[in-house]
Amino acid sequence: MNSMNHDEMVARQVLILARQITRRRNQHLRNLELTTEQADALNFFASYPDSTVTTFKTRQGITHQTARLIVQRLATRGYVQLTASPNDGRAKQVTLTASGRAKREQLQQHGWQTSAQMFTDFNPEQQQLFLSLLQQANQNLESDEN
């Protein structure tokens, strides 16, 4: 098998894997009645407590209006609470509520279940090798973009 065919086959398998993971995630989000953007926001504000809408906007690379709408929707549903930032009264600090933390926990559980299923019949060394190789492949592609 020449290198080109092999590269195409590897890329194709990675694409298939990505699609399967995305399909599972989308189905799970529908079951949780969340959009992808809302799930990303819950994960962000759980990982970076007391961040502002502006910080979220910048980290996600979205407009301020979009960030505000996502956060507002989460607040309406009781998943986050908005308070004036102690550093800047105009900025809104976002904090997960107990309900938001529970919803985030459901998101994480699904992620663990998907990983567990994906790694069925892999021993721990194979799992670690797979992860290391994926990280290296991603780094190679990222460095190629710069």
Contact between 42 and 103 (Cβ < 8 Å)? yes
pLDDT value of position 50: 83
Confidence of residue 146 (pLDDT cuts 50, 70, 90): low
pLDDT value of position 79: 98
d(CA 36, CA 30): 9
Q: What is the pLDDT of residues 56-95, one digit of tens each?
A: 999 999 999 999 999 999 999 999 999 988 888 788 899 9
pLDDT value of position 4: 58
SS3 assignment, position 144: helix
* Exposed / middle / buried, residue 39 (Cβ in 10 Å: 0-12, 13-18, 19+): buried
Amino acid at 55: T
pLDDT value of position 86: 85
SS3 assignment, position 11: helix
Q: What is the 3-state secondary structure (H, E, C) of 22-73?
A: HHHHHHHHHHHCCCHHHHHHHHHHHHCCCCEHHHHHHHHCCCHHHHHHHHHH
> pTM, whole model, 2 decimals?
0.75
pLDDT value of position 11: 85
